[in-house]
Amino acid sequence: MSYIRLILIASFAIISTSVSQLSMAQQSSVNPELFQAMKYRSIGPYRGGRVTTVSGVWGDARTYYMGATGGGVWKT
């Protein structure tokens, strides 16, 4: 592939991507009133370390099990 053809293809890809991003940004206007009731909350440990897997208990929204890389299974 010639150098000029490569530059033309790359330029077309960049321009078409930027034009589509601009049109999507203009269309998606969000009403700020939707976020008025939202409050910050921590949903996890600050420094949890490495985790192998996490699983919840079906039917019990407050019980979770976590398998840690350092060893052990932890239950909330």
Q: Tell me the backbone φ, ψ of residue 28, rounded to 5 degrees.
A: -95, 85
pTM of the complete model: 0.35
Low-confidence ranges of the chain (pLDDT < 50): none
Q: What angle do CA 63, 42, 36 make, to 5 degrees?
A: 120
Please tell me the predicted confidence (pLDDT) of residue 47. 64
DSSP 59-70: TEEEEEEEEETT
pLDDT digits (tens, 9 = 90+) for 9-23: 888 888 877 766 666
Amino acid present at 28: S
